[in-house]
Structure 1
């Protein structure tokens, strides 16, 4: 991991993050990546999350951006005040299993704790089984039924929640 830099993304990183998302979607039958129709925030990705009161980070190595993760206040009306949500969690296939997602998550978790957030939530495509295992290893618990997104990919998503109590989740 010493050759990996985790840094706040800039708006100029939108194309690299788009490439991560497109590549991840290509791994799953029926996942459609249409940037203009469903991901217009990528045109000014850092500004988008800053405008929501959040941050997006990227993981970068000598070849460029290889991962991303964002954290912003949740819009879920059932979440407690100050609750946060994770978005845009993607790691390039060739860079997986090297601790990159874990490093991005540790960065987001530290930011959530510094903000005094009571919990972190996220939604993830029901097809992304490896992601589900990662979130569960990070201490998240799946909650409630899947929701339908009514998007081009006919996505259904699971909800995950991580309470941030005094002890909080393990970072290892």
Structure 2
């Protein structure tokens, strides 16, 4: 499960429920890069309080990347139905973007889904996360016409992206 090529100083492991503080810190730092985007750890993002339990409840799995400062990246994947899988969360500290670690994590998630018989991977992404959308498009994800509103404090609308595996 942990056969990832990571630069020296980084390690990968399965997420634990005790990772709540580190996950919240990481994702909050990512959200804070965008005006009006807020993490809601006691609301829409309450799954982060016990993420291992939450993702296991979806029959999924999650992986964190750590360095000497703590959690610097996370990726998770879970089945939707049949051969459809969803990339649930993929976040990297700003310092890791452009290093290839994000691509490594995306490929890991896709490989895990394929190992469970997935034929397609889906993900939802805030309309404001344009850098992520470019990344997904480069990796074969196609933005769909479908959107969804989350009715959260960030007034989030998300795009649906789908990739055949």
TM-score w.r.t. length of structure 2: 0.91
After superposing on structure 2, the runs of 4+ consecutive aligned residues of structure 1 that deviate more than 4 Å are none
Residue number in structure 2 paired with 1:83: 84
How much does 1:162 deviate? 0.8
Pairing 1:155–2:156 present: yes
How much does 1:57 deviate? 0.8
Residue number in structure 1 paired with 2:12: 6
Residue number in structure 2 paired with 1:29: 35
SS in 1 for 2:48: helix
Quick check: 1:59–1:100 contact (8 Å CA) kept in 2? Answer: no
- Runs of 5+ unmatched residues, structure 1: 75-79, 165-172
TM-score w.r.t. length of structure 1: 0.87
How much does 1:69 deviate? 1.0
SS in 2 for 1:131: helix
How much does 1:6 deviate? 2.4
Taking the TM superposition and a 5 Å limit, the aligned residue runs for 1:65-80 are 65-74=71-80
Deviations 1:38-95 (A, max 9, x none): 2111111011101110001111122221111110012xxxxx6221101121111122
Deviations 1:4-38 (A, max 9, x none): 22221111112111111111111111112221122
Residue number in structure 2 paired with 1:109: 110
Aligned residues: 159
Taking the TM superposition and a 5 Å limit, the aligned residue runs for 1:133-152 are 133-152=134-153
Name the CA distance, whole Å, in 2 between partners of 1:60 and 1:137.
26
Quick check: 1:58–1:104 contact (8 Å CA) kept in 2? Answer: no
Quick check: 1:6–1:104 contact (8 Å CA) kept in 2? Answer: no
2:52 maps to which of 36, 46, 49: 46
SS in 2 for 1:154: coil
- Runs of 5+ unmatched residues, structure 2: 1-5
SS in 2 for 1:97: coil
Name the CA distance, whole Å, in 2 between partners of 1:94 and 1:14.
21
